Amino acid sequence: MVDHRIPRRGAPRTFAVLIAALLVVASGSADARGKAKKRPRVTFDAAWASHPSALYAGLSAAKCTDELGRRGVAFTPVTQGPTPGVLAPVRLPKDVGGVVYRSQATPNVRAQSPYDIFDCRLVLALSDFSKILVAHDIDEVVMFSAWRPPPRSWPEGKLGTRHLGALAIDVERLGKKLGDGQPEKARVWLNIESNWAGSIGAPACGSGAAAPKAKSPAALELRSIVCEAADKHLFTSILTPNYNRAHENHVHLEVTPDVTWHLVR
């Protein structure tokens, strides 16, 4: 039987509050589901300790710089000015294994720019990466940044990860080696934003990876370069334009200490 009694004063307000509360809970649940979907899917590997990225990430500053010296990599230790968050800050005045890694700034600005400071452990990974690049006739990598200085509130002595620790670079484009006598303006660039041709959410490498939407030589070569680095486990994290919209114009390459996983998206 339907109850036709008039609700008591205040009941509609109580009902409205209840509905509002339920909507908030539902919204929160939806947000939680959305965040769960966006959470990077890492891969655990029993052999992680033998991966180059794990070996480099576990080095001390002294052992790392010794290894750079053994490899003949030219570097300049950063001793002037504070570099909070960075274990072994260095600059790269020359190429690393035949490849120049630099920001878009002019040389005189790069010599002082914080964005051209690398942690030594990342440079070891880049040294390996250079072998792949040289095989593709690449001799220049233009990045948005390596180190990004932390806020002034950063605790003294605390080491950072990713860009805060100068352990990652965001690669914008790769430059093909010039032939003898060719002017710089003739350089061919593989540009991440315009040449990647991927799809957000699609696997970038490995089983189930989707081919570039536009199968241009540049797109295919970019995919090959990134996936060769992934296969060799040179970096702990590789985030491509397939990861999300924030990465549509670069590939993020990172060495991460104290983890047992790798991530390629």
pLDDT tens-digit readout, 17-37: 334 443 433 444 444 444 444
Per-residue confidence at 90, pLDDT binned at 50, 70, 90?
A: very high
Structure tokens at 86: 């960075």
* Dist CA 18 CA 258 (whole Å): 46
Lowest pLDDT segment from 70-79, 130-139, 199-208: 199-208
117 domain residue, yes or no: yes
14 domain residue, yes or no: no
25 domain residue, yes or no: no
81 domain residue, yes or no: yes
pLDDT tens-digit readout, 171-211: 999 999 999 989 989 999 999 999 999 999 999 999 889 88
118-119: strand order across its sheet: 76-77, 89-91, 118-119
What pLDDT was estimated at residue 26? 42
Q: Is the pLDDT of residue 15 over 50?
A: no
What pLDDT was estimated at residue 75? 98
What pLDDT was estimated at residue 214? 87
What pLDDT was estimated at residue 207? 84
Structural domain for 179, as ranges: 41-264
Per-residue confidence at 40, pLDDT binned at 50, 70, 90?
A: low
Mean pLDDT of the chain, nearest integer: 88
* Dist CA 237 CA 125 (whole Å): 12
21 domain residue, yes or no: no
| Alpha-helical segments (H) within 72-216 | 107-110, 120-135, 192-195
What pLDDT was estimated at residue 38? 53
What pLDDT was estimated at residue 36? 41
What pLDDT was estimated at residue 12? 44
7 domain residue, yes or no: no
Q: Is the pLDDT of residue 169 over 60?
A: yes
Provide long-range contacts, Cβ within 8 A and 24+ apart, for 234-238.
234/52, 234/53, 234/125, 234/128, 234/129, 235/53, 235/125, 235/129, 235/262, 236/53, 236/54, 236/57, 236/261, 236/262, 236/263, 237/168, 237/262, 237/263, 237/264, 238/204, 238/205, 238/263, 238/264, 238/265
Q: Is the pLDDT of residue 158 over 60?
A: yes
pLDDT tens-digit readout, 92-110: 999 999 999 999 999 999 9
Average pLDDT of span 78-83: 92
What pLDDT was estimated at residue 80? 87
Average pLDDT of span 37-60: 85
What pLDDT was estimated at residue 68? 98
162 domain residue, yes or no: yes
15 domain residue, yes or no: no
Per-residue confidence at 44, pLDDT binned at 50, 70, 90?
A: confident
> Total domain count for the chain?
1
